[in-house]
Amino acid sequence: MAPLKQLMAGLMIFGTFALAACSENETTSEDGTSQPFSSAPLLNPNEATEAQLAAIGSLTEADVAAIINGRPFTSMSALHAAISEGKEPRVIRGLYNEMFIKVGLNTGSEEDYKLIPSTLSPRHLAHEFEEYRPYSSIDDFAREMKKYVSTAEVENLKRYVTLD
């Protein structure tokens, strides 16, 4: 019986390390889908060319036209209202991993914070962003967020915000 317990303990430890390794580089949404964190710059839909927008696979021709004709969007929630109707959350999440209007850490709205892809629920993420205002630097933001998410996710979150 002792070898079986050792085997089970070993499998549990291995599983824990495997999950930790995956979670360091991936985000799992509330619908259970996983996407890797990216270090690529986000496309700003207010500045992107029509060709750049059309290259984003989850944007339809109508979405591209809505973005071009609706610019400039003053917030991410305004853009979201223009293009999100009828899209599944996983599609929106993938889209916002490619393009986003950065949100001010000190002046952003709860609605905009909730649109940032994260392993935290949108409500929890917005709460944590707002709780530690005002931020004097991006490093202050990173230090606070490391209490709740992995270092890799903090680096990813930094792509979505600006110090204002």
Q: Which structural domain range is residue 38 located in?
A: 2-162
Report CA-CA distances (Å) from 97 to 16, 66, 80, 109, 147: 27, 19, 13, 19, 22
CA–CA separation, 71 and 32 (whole Å): 33
Q: How would DSSP label each residue in 19-35?
A: HHHHHHHEEE-TTS-EE
pLDDT at 36 over 80: no
Tell me how many domains the chain contains: 1
* pLDDT, averaged across the chain: 85
The token duo for 14 is 């291995």
Q: Per DSSP, what are the bridge partners of residue 42?
A: none
The pLDDT tens digits of the residues spanning 70-113 come to 999 999 999 999 999 999 999 999 999 999 999 999 999 999 99
Q: How confident is the model at residue 15 (pLDDT cuts 50, 70, 90)?
A: very low
pLDDT at 31 over 80: no
pTM, to two decimals: 0.78
In this prediction, residues 23-27 reach a mean pLDDT of 45
In this prediction, residues 54-59 reach a mean pLDDT of 94
